Amino acid sequence: MAQNNSNTGPEGEGFLERLPREISRWESEGLITAEQGQSILGSYSPTDLAPAAVRVQGRLVTGLSIIGAVLVGLGIILFFAANWDAIGRWPKLGIILAAILAAHGLGYYLRYHKDYVRLGSAMVLLACLVYGAGVHLVGQVYNVDVNAPRLMLFWFLGVFPLVYIVRSQPIQFLGLVLFFLAVGFRLPDWLDVVSRGEGVLGASLFLILGLLVLSLGRLKEEISSLKAYSEVFQLVGLITALGALFVLTFKGLFDSFEDGLYIQGETELGFRALIAAAGATTLGLVLATAWLHRERESEFTVTGIEGIGIAILLAAAYVVVGVNTGGEVLYAIIFNALLGLSLLGVLVSGYLRGKEAFVNIGLAFIGINVIARYFEYSWGLLDRSFVFVAAGVILLLGGYLVEKGRQKMLERIRQTGGQL
């Protein structure tokens, strides 16, 4: 069965805290050699072996540093915005460039020379935010519309290399968010001549892109040198894919199927190329992940089931943009069923692999879906006041039951390490 390799939970943390002392005792008793002891300790990161109090302090430093970087970035952006017209063109460019270089330089110094990894990473994050503001402000200097898609693309291209240069989860998160924003800003141009089916096309594209990022994260988890880049990719990809799938569950989205009509107008080549390349790449990543996992485990585990689930959702995304059913109900039923099965799969996968974040995401989407279905089908049938009262009662009871079940599931994850 799949095992949890994260060593999270009270028992895992207690073991890792005791491990250095236990290894010293084993060496003194002659059970292992000093070289073997160093090899065992070397298989864990220093963060894993640190006491719980130190890890809590580290997370506090990370949180405070990120909040500080964001606030400073917002302050700089507001300052530029308020005084932009009063500054000449070349001073504007000089100030922006100096701010970016100063933030990057300070981040590099703190991270690699002073070994203040968390604070240094926060300064690099600040540099990324200032760079994004600079891209848009420089665009204004040359009379480029602030909503121009290429500006978001330039911001993404400037941040993306740092995703792999700086091993920082906030920067990974920013890079992925910018990727989806760059696609989102470009999407209206791709669908400019499409008069029917824009919502379905957009949701299908983001479903495919979410599965792509999720599959990339799963592949990285199988490669030890890339494992540090796995978690954020999986979480962002999962949330994006589930969000797009959730959008496709609404019956009103398929109004374009009325009277046998679906899409009027042809999408641009860029859209077609992206949706085809992303789908093919996702399938390749799924197969590569299954092959790498097969090299380590002989039995068909949850990884194979996840791959099949991704392939099914990928096929659904392509079918809905290419097959006209002549009605709006069938696809809504299909995607509601797919969402239900996907959320169940997320909960099972999170439990078997010992990933609490997956469990929390699955439960959150279940709650959101229940609320959405309630209002979608009861809003026009009942008195408005009764709808809100009944919704409040349902939410309170549902919140109690979900939290109770969540606590039991997470406790079993911690106690069993994700094993059945």
Q: How much of the chain, in percent, has pLDDT values that exceed 90?
A: 18
What is the per-residue pLDDT across 23-42, written as a single tens digit (0 to 9) for each?
A: 777 777 777 777 776 776 66
Q: Average pLDDT in the 371-389 region?
A: 61
Q: Is the pLDDT of residue 398 over 70?
A: no
Which residues, at least 6 apart from 329, have a Cβ–Cβ distance to it below 8 Å? 251, 254
pLDDT surpassing 80 at residue 414 = no
| Three-state DSSP state, 336 | helix
pLDDT tens for each residue of 101-144:
888 888 888 787 877 777 778 888 888 888 888 888 778 777 78
Over residues 53-93, the pLDDT tens digits come to 444 555 555 666 667 666 776 676 676 666 666 667 777 77
**Predicted confidence (pLDDT) at residue 367 exceeds the cutoff of 60:** yes
The confidence score (pLDDT) of residue 333 equals: 85
pLDDT of 44 > 70? The answer is: no
Helix H segments across 196-301? Answer: 198-221, 230-247, 269-296
Say how far apart CA 306 and CA 50 lie, in whole Å: 33
The answer on pLDDT for 13 being more than 60 is: no
Please give the Cα distance from 239 to 243 (Å, whole number).
Answer: 6
Cα end-to-end distance, the chain, whole Å = 7
Tell me the average pLDDT of the chain: 76
Tell me, what's the pLDDT at 325? 65
pLDDT band at 338 (very low <50, low <70, confident <90, very high): very high
Instruction: Give SS3 for 29.
Output: coil
pLDDT of residue 2: 41
Q: What is the pLDDT of residues 155-168, one digit of tens each?
A: 999 999 888 888 78
Residue-wise pLDDT tens digits, 250-259? 887 876 565 5
User: pLDDT confidence of 193, banded at 50, 70, 90?
Assistant: confident
What are the strands, taking DSSP E only, across 115-164?
A: none
Contacting residues for 346 by C-beta, under 8 A, at least 6 apart: 238, 242, 358, 359, 361, 362, 365
pLDDT of res. 393: 61
338 vs 306, residue with greater confidence: 338
Burial of 79 (0-12, 13-18, 19+ CB in 10 A): exposed
The Cα 42–Cα 103 span in angstroms is 33
CA atoms of 87 and 44, how far apart (whole Å): 52
Interatomic CA distance for residues 345 and 365, integer angstroms: 12
pLDDT of residue 164: 87
Residue 195 has pLDDT above 70, yes or no: no
Residue 224: what pLDDT? 80
Name the band, by pLDDT with cuts 50, 70 and 90, for residue 276: very high
Q: Are 238 and 214 in contact (CB under 8 A)?
A: yes
